[in-house]
Copies of this chain bind each other. A is one copy, B any other.
Amino acid sequence: MEHIIAADLPNLEQGYRRNLINSITGFKSVSLVGTINRSGITNLAVFSQIFHLGADPALIGVLVRPQTTPRHTLMNMEETGYFTINHIRQDFLYQAHHTSARWDHSEFHACRLTPWYSKGMKAPYVAEANIRIGLQLAETQTLAINKTVLVIGAIEEIWVPENCLGADGFVDLEEAGSLTCSGLDSYHSTKKVARLTYAKPANIPRLLKPQLSTEV
């Protein structure tokens, strides 16, 4: 095994350290966050630090790194109060990755992705995405320890393909083609290993019975 200790980290080349620390935490979600400013200019940016914060109220957290993430996203969120999360699929992966270049105009146009608006949401969705979430900005917090900004959004609406929503509310991300990512630049598709039953001491976990109907 390779063994790297805290005292080694400052001596590592900066890019090496960034790759190491960004990949060591495990696989991540990977989405395009869509926003629009007051003048109507749209923006798209790749985010991999998006996570569930609560089901009731339904809240999602997004980490915005001070140095590495385009700040347009945060500015637009604060200007208009809305943003969208659009899962990246393999079909438009290269275009999605290309949004992270420093564009001086909208990444939709620059990267040939299609803005799509729903009635209830001011911020643009990505039409190419199968899974789309529209959110209202609830609050932002700057973490004192390193100035990372934690954005908290309240879910306003969810769009999911009919064949990806189970009778128990589970969203089949694999069926939807959502990718996962690792580190700064690695994208992966997934293959289901198992859904397991709720764990109790007396019961060894078993495969959960599939629930495929799509009633809400």
Contact = CB atoms under 8 A, between A and B. Distances in A.
Interface in A81-116: 85, 87, 90, 93-94, 97-103, 110
Contact of A4 (B98, B161, B189, B216): B216
Nearest to A30: B26
Interface residues of A, number: 114
A170 B19 CA distance: 5
Number of copies: 2
Contacts of A214: 2
A165 B20 CA distance: 8
Interface string A51-63: 1111111111101
Where chain A touches its partner, the secondary structure class is: mixed
B193 A189 contact: yes
Among the interface residues A17, A18, A98, A180, which one has the most CB atoms of the partner chain B within 10 A?
A: A180
A71 interface: no
A97 B143 contact: no
A97 B59 CA distance: 25
Contacts of A205: 94, 97-98
A55 B21 contact: yes
Given A25-B51, A31-B26, A188 B171 contact: no
A19 B168 contact: yes
Nearest to A23: B171
Interface of A: 1-6, 8-10, 12-31, 49-61, 63, 65, 85, 87, 90, 93-94, 97-103, 110, 120, 131, 133, 138-139, 141, 143, 145-146, 148, 150, 152, 154-162, 165-166, 168-171, 173-174, 178-180, 182-183, 185-201, 203-205, 208, 214, 216
